[in-house]
Amino acid sequence: MDRTFDELVAEADAAPMAGWDFSWLEGRATEERPSWGYSRLLHERLGTVGAALDLQTGGGEVLGTAPALPRLLVATEGWPPNVAAATALLHPRGVAVVAHDGDSPLPFGDAAFDLVTSRHPVAPRWAEIARVLRPGGTYLAQHVGPASVFELVEFFLGPLPDDVRRGRDPEDEVADARAAGLELVDLRAERLRIEFHDVGAVVWFLRKVVWMVPGFTVEAYLPELRALHEQIEAEGPFVAHSARHLLELRRPD
């Protein structure tokens, strides 16, 4: 029996938000993954260095599945629930988790790390990344690209201006990284299909990824949610596209 709009929304609105685990969406939403396989690349690279730093680690889920870790591995995270989750997951493996807001200078010495990594950082501070990398060291990361999932965002907010749609453009990021003294090694970008199979999945997603529709609540967007539910019921899954790019940079010798 199909579940009603009220049932789907109530369930998603009451679901817990702790950590950075998206397993609640299994069977309710799907997302294509980038062809380069960031987790695999990261895990391979971690096994080749002596000291590494993972920025904005979330709940530590990507690091936590690495088969081999460097002798020194530090992770930073700013959101308190994620700091707690990452600490519980990573401390048993000898990883130091440091609470850091992402905006202030990194609390590490110059040339401290062979490798700096990040999965979906909010706003990389290129001068700080360059500073903590040793000469010859590498920054390897997967970033969110421009206008990611904007089909969904604009369903709720309406059309957004061009400068907002261009935010996180990989070419702009490369230019800023070069200005900080880093060299480009590799850049790959893809747009990937996302499907939301019911309105509950959308509610949960927007509660989790809070910057997509700032201030989102069910009460504030009840008419839009009803319209989205009716569209999914009539036409099938709501389709959006995420933007991702793989970025590898190097601090010159």
Which of the four pLDDT bands, split at 50, 70 and 90, describes residue 2?
A: confident
How far are the Cα atoms of 30, 72, 200, 216 from residue 26, in angstroms, in the given order? 8, 34, 12, 22
pLDDT tens digits for 112-150?
999 999 999 999 999 999 999 999 999 999 999 999 999
189-225 pLDDT, tens digit each: 999 999 999 999 999 999 999 999 999 999 999 999 9
Lookup result for tokens 């401290």: 112
pLDDT band at 79, cuts 50/70/90?
Answer: confident
For 27-53, what is each residue's pLDDT tens digit?
999 999 999 999 999 999 999 999 999
pTM for this predicted structure = 0.92
CATH no. of 5-250: 3.40.50.150
| Burial of 1 (C-beta count, 10 Å sphere; 0-12/13-18/19+) | exposed
**Cβ contact 140:117 at 8 Å:** yes
* Domain residue spans of the chain: 5-250
Q: What is the pLDDT of residues 80-106, one digit of tens each?
A: 988 999 999 999 999 999 999 999 999
pLDDT of residue 81: 86
Note the helical H segments in the chain.
Answer: 5-14, 38-46, 61-64, 80-90, 126-132, 150-157, 162-166, 170-179, 199-208, 222-235
CA distance 60 to 75: 8
